[in-house]
């Protein structure tokens, strides 16, 4: 119950973070400078949307904007006008004072309504508007742009400390956000992306944000990305297998420079997921010649498109129930062995389903499947699966055991985005925290699988976003080793930083 309470608090915090990051709440502009008790009227230049003196604007492949105004400590005694303007010469002084190394924002900035008019009896002026223009030629970096306000000798003074807003513009190029680290996860998160619904570059927009300024660090949310989907069907001869690609996965593979290489540049391993096509031919019923053909097709695909491996999802094969087409654990082991020899050290992962051949928990002609694949998991969603534990609260999981597979390479939790009842949620949370954290059970805290990351929307599906965080929640101590100053009050593992728009399909 204690752990469930922690997770409930974490979910509430996630909702708060998501709303803050989308500016859904009104920010506090802070306090005015001290007047020393003297009856002076002082002015402060403020952003209309950010409380900080040096707000961070995320330029995520699109223009970003802000508004600013001047605020007085007392109502204006007469109608007055101030002027705001850009002064890039202040960047050097800012760097010298703060020990930073920013360069001036090199892109176009459109400043309109730069005359700030403050009516008599008012304390807030009209607003100036800034539009920072995105250009695909801008390098990934955080730039600085100072905006300063000036008045006349007859205007109330503007405090030296509050006459300038220093905008930090975080430009994401095609490959990554500027503040991304290249440090990989220290546990394994595997995520599926369905190219029919989502741009794969979503994976470069999800990362763990750990610590607090000035000690922030950013860590990848995923170790392996499985692209959906290719299928196995009969070729034109009706006797040999071939790989079939739908139009979406074909487009992504054909534009690997745009959709795959940027993921790999940030440390993600990108793999192709292969399922069945309902034609009765698949991983577990291939003869030697058929196996050789499918292995060849997979190897050529990985080579041509520069992929890091393959995910064998043992589903939708519609194996026949008679004759030589019955699924066989021995055939599967022979096929995977041949595949391993053909693709060397590239990743082979295996998703076990109800269609998988029986007998995978035993050696097949001296071959143990678990010693060939890099990782394996099941299609049992939103519950802890532990084939090694007899007293699992979800019952007997021995059917999911794979011979030779180490527990540290088994995905005990595969989450999928769906609505859960309160009872289902409590059972899931209780199982995870009460069992996976038990002494002697942490071997199952290394691999976590997210069946789909296409539906995650900041501020809307906070529960779904939390499913992406199970590994971080459980591996709190590990993440703390990366950055001991985890964000306070946000639960175990810091939190997942989710950017707007999340890469919708652009093809």
Structure confidence by residue, pLDDT tens digits, 11-39: 333 333 333 333 332 233 334 444 444 45
User: Looking at residue 14, what is its pLDDT?
Assistant: 39
Q: Which residue has the tokens 């038990």?
A: 438
Calculate what percentage of the chain has a pLDDT beyond 70.
Answer: 72
Measured in degrees and rounded to the nearest 5, phi and psi for residue 333 equal -65, -40
- What average pLDDT score do residues 108-117 get? 93
Q: 400-444 pLDDT, tens per residue? A: 999 999 999 999 888 886 666 677 667 666 667 666 766 556 777
The residues that bridge with 433 in the sheet, in sequence order, are: none
Q: How far apart are CA 292 and CA 299, in angstroms?
A: 11
Alpha helices by DSSP H, 344-450: 422-431
Q: Tell me the CATH number of domain 188-488, given options 2.40.50.140, 2.40.50.100, 3.20.20.80, 3.10.180.10.
A: 3.20.20.80
Q: Where are the domains of the chain?
A: 43-171, 188-488
Over residues 213-262, the pLDDT tens digits come to 666 667 778 899 999 999 999 998 999 999 999 999 999 999 998 899 98
Q: Comparing 461 with 174, which gets the higher pLDDT? A: 174
**Spatial distance between the Cα atoms of 427 and 417, rounded to a whole number of angstroms:** 16
Residues 6+ apart with CB under 8 A from 504: 198, 199
What's the helix, strand, coil split of the chain in %, to 5? 25, 25, 45
Pairing of strands 80-86, 141-150: antiparallel
The residue assigned the tokens 């295996």 is 350
Structure tokens at 505: 């399909």
- Of 123-137, 171-185, 320-334, which gets the smallest average pLDDT? 171-185
Read off the pLDDT of each residue in 145-155 and give the average, rounded to a whole number.
78
What's the pLDDT at 461? 47
pLDDT reported for residue 10 = 37
How buried is residue 281: exposed, middle or buried, by Cβ count under 10 Å (0-12/13-18/19+)?
buried
What pLDDT is recorded for position 392?
A: 66
Question: What was the pLDDT predicted at 357?
Answer: 93
Cβ atoms 118, 156 nearer than 8 A: no
The predicted structure's pLDDT at residue 492: 47
* CA distances in angstroms from 402 to 8, 315, 387, listed in the order given: 34, 17, 9
* Per-residue pLDDT tens digits for 182-207: 566 778 999 999 999 888 988 887 77
Note the pLDDT tens digit of each residue in 59-111: 877 889 999 999 888 888 888 889 999 999 999 999 998 888 899 999 999 99
Poorest-pLDDT segment among 35-49, 57-71, 328-342: 35-49
Give the pLDDT of residue 62: 81
**DSSP secondary structure string for all residues of 88-125:** TTHHHHHHHHHT---EE--S-EEEE--EEEE-TT-SB-
Task: State how far the Cα of 153 lies from the Cα of 406, in Å rounded to an integer.
Answer: 76
Q: What pLDDT was estimated at residue 417?
A: 67
The predicted structure's pLDDT at residue 176: 53
In this prediction, residue 155 carries a pLDDT of 66
Residues sharing a CB contact under 8 Å with residue 414, sequence separation 6 or more, in sequence order: 377, 378, 379, 380, 381, 382, 385, 448, 449, 450, 451
Report whether 333 contacts 348 (CB < 8 A): no
Residue of higher predicted confidence among 156 and 75: 75
Q: What is the pTM of this model?
A: 0.72
Lowest mean pLDDT among 74-78, 236-240, 453-457, 485-489: 485-489
First to last CA, the chain: 47
Return the CATH fold of 43-171.
Immunoglobulin-like (2.60.40)
Compute the distance between CA of residue 479 and CA of residue 119 in angstroms, rounded to an integer: 53
Q: Looking at residue 205, what is its pLDDT?
A: 77
- In the chain, count H helices and then E strands: 11, 22
Choose from 463-467, 479-483, 500-504 the range with maximum mean pLDDT.
479-483
Mean pLDDT value across the chain: 80
Identify the residue whose tokens are 């006008």: 81
């Amino acid at each position: 119950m204690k752990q469930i309470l922690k997770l409930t608090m974490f979910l509430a915090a996630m909702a708060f973070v998501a709303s803050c990051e989308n500016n859904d709440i009104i920010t506090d502009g802070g306090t005015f400078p001290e007047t020393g008790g003297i009856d002076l009227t002082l002015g402060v230049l403020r952003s209309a949307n950010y409380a900080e003196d040096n707000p961070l604007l995320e330029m995520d492949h699109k223009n970003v904007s802000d508004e600013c105004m001047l605020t007085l400590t007392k109502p204006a005694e007469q109608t007055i006008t101030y002027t705001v303007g850009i002064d890039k010469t202040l960047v050097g002084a800012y760097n010298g004072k703060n020990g930073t190394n920013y360069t001036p924002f090199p892109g176009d900035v459109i400043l309109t309504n730069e005359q700030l008019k403050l009516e008599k009896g008012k304390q807030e002026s009209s607003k100036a508007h800034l539009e920072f223009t995105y250009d695909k030629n801008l390098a990934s970096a955080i730039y600085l742009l100072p905006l300063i306000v000036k008045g006349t000798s007859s205007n109330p003074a503007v405090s030296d400390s509050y006459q300038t807003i220093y905008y930090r513009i975080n430009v994401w190029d095609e490959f990554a956000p500027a503040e991304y680290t290249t440090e990989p996860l220290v546990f394994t998160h595997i995520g599926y992306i369905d190219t029919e619904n989502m741009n794969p570059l979503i994976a470069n927009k999800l990362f763990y944000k750990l610590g607090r300024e000035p000690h922030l660090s950013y860590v990848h949310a995923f170790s392996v990305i499985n692209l959906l989907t290719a299928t196995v069907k009969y070729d034109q001869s009706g006797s040999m297998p071939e790989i079939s690609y739908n139009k979406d996965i074909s487009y992504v593979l054909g534009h690997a420079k745009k959709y795959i290489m940027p993921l790999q540049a940030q440390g993600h391993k990108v793999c192709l997921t292969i399922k069945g096509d309902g034609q009765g031919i698949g991983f577990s019923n291939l003869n030697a010649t058929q196996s050789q053909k499918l292995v060849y097709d997979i190897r050529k695909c990985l080579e041509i498109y520069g992929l890091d491996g393959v995910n064998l999802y043992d589903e939708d094969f519609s194996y026949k129930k008679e004759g030589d087409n019955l699924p066989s654990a021995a055939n599967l082991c022979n096929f995977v062995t041949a595949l391993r020899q053909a693709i060397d050290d590239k990743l082979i992962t295996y998703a076990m389903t109800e269609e998988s051949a029986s007998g995978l928990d035993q050696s097949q002609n001296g071959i143990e499947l678990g010693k060939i694949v890099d990782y394996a998991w099941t299609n049992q969603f939103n519950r802890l699966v532990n084939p090694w534990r007899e007293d699992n609260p979800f019952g007997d999981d021995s059917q999911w055991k794979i011979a030779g597979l180490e527990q540290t390479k088994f995905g005990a939790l595969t989450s999928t985005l769906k609505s859960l009842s309160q009872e289902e949620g409590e059972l899931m949370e209780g199982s995870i925290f009460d069992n996976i954290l038990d002494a002697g059970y942490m071997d199952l805290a290394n691999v976590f699988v997210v069946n789909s990351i296409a539906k995650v929307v900041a501020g809307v599906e906070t529960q779904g976003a939390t499913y992406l965080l199970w590994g971080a929640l459980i591996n709190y101590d590990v993440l703390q080793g990366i950055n001991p100053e985890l964000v306070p009050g946000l639960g175990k593992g810091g939190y997942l930083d989710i950017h707007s728009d999340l890469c919708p399909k652009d093809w």
